[in-house]
C-alpha cells in the first residue's frame, strides 16, 4: 500500500457545513460519521462530526471533524493547504469558490516568478494558496 499525506481539519462545531462546502468546491464522495454513531447518542455532541472524509476524482483527500468538548480549537494558526498544477481553469474555479464568503489575502494573479498565485482564508478560517504553473 502506498503512503498518503492528507490534511485533517478541525472545526468548531460546523464540520458538516464545511465538508459539504468543500464537496461543492471539489466534487467527489463525502462520508460523514457522527459522535452519536460511535456510542455517544445521548451526548450533546451526538450530531457533530467525529470523522469526515472527502475523496475526489482528482485524487484529493480532505478529512475533518468537529473539535470535541475540552479540546482547543485554533483555526488557521498552523496549516495552509496548497493547490497547485497547470489546469488553470480548474484551479481558478477552486480559488473563486474557496474565497467566496471568506477573505482574499493575495489576489490570484501573475507573479514575478511567472506563475499565477493567490491566497485566501475560506469562510471557516482555513488558509488556502493556489499556484498555477507558468501561465
Q: Is it the case that residue 66 has pLDDT exceeding 60?
A: yes
Assigned architecture for domain 80-132: Roll (3.10)
Q: Do residues 118 and 108 make contact, with C-beta atoms less than 8 angstroms apart?
A: yes
CATH 3.10.180.10 for domain 8-66, yes or no, is: yes
Q: What is the pLDDT of residue 37?
A: 87
Q: What is the pLDDT of residue 69?
A: 74
Confidence of residue 93 (pLDDT cuts 50, 70, 90): very high
Tally of CB atoms within 10 A around 11: 22
Higher-pLDDT residue of 44, 61? 61
Q: Is it the case that residue 1 has pLDDT exceeding 60?
A: no
Q: What is the pLDDT of residue 77?
A: 64
HSE-up (13 A, CA, CB side) for residue 125: 13
Cell for 19? 465538508
- C-alpha 50, offset from chain centre: 16
Strands 49-55 and 29-34, by their bridges, are antiparallel
In the chain, list all ranges with CATH 3.10.180.10.
8-66, 80-132
Tally of CB atoms within 10 A around 82: 11
For the stretch 9-42, pLDDT in tens is 989 899 999 999 999 999 999 999 998 887 767 7
Q: Is it the case that residue 80 has pLDDT exceeding 90?
A: no
Confidence of residue 67 (pLDDT cuts 50, 70, 90): confident
Instruction: Identify the burial level of 109 via C-beta atoms within 10 angstroms of its C-beta, where 0-12 means exposed, 13-18 middle and 19 or more buried.
Output: exposed
For the stretch 40-58, pLDDT in tens is 677 778 899 989 999 999 9
Residue 66 CA to residue 56 CA, distance in Å, equals 21
| pTM score of the predicted model | 0.79
Residue 53: helix, strand or coil by DSSP? strand
Amino acid at each position: 500500500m502506498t503512503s498518503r499525506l492528507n490534511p485533517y481539519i478541525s472545526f468548531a462545531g460546523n464540520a458538516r457545513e464545511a465538508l459539504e462546502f468543500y464537496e461543492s468546491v471539489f466534487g467527489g464522495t463525502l462520508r460523514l460519521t457522527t459522535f452519536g454513531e460511535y456510542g455517544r447518542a445521548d451526548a450533546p455532541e451526538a450530531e457533530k462530526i467525529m470523522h469526515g472524509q472527502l475523496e475526489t476524482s482528482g485524487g484529493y483527500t480532505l478529512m475533518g471533524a468537529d473539535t470535541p468538548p475540552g479540546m482547543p480549537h485554533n483555526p488557521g494558526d498552523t496549516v495552509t493547504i496548497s493547490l497547485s498544477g497547470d489546469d488553470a481553469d480548474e484551479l481558478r474555479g477552486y480559488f473563486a469558490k474557496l474565497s467566496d464568503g471568506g477573505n482574499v489575502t493575495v489576489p490570484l494573479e501573475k507573479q514575478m516568478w511567472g506563475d499565477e498565485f493567490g491566497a485566501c482564508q475560506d469562510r471557516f478560517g482555513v488558509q488556502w494558496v493556489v499556484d498555477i504553473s507558468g501561465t
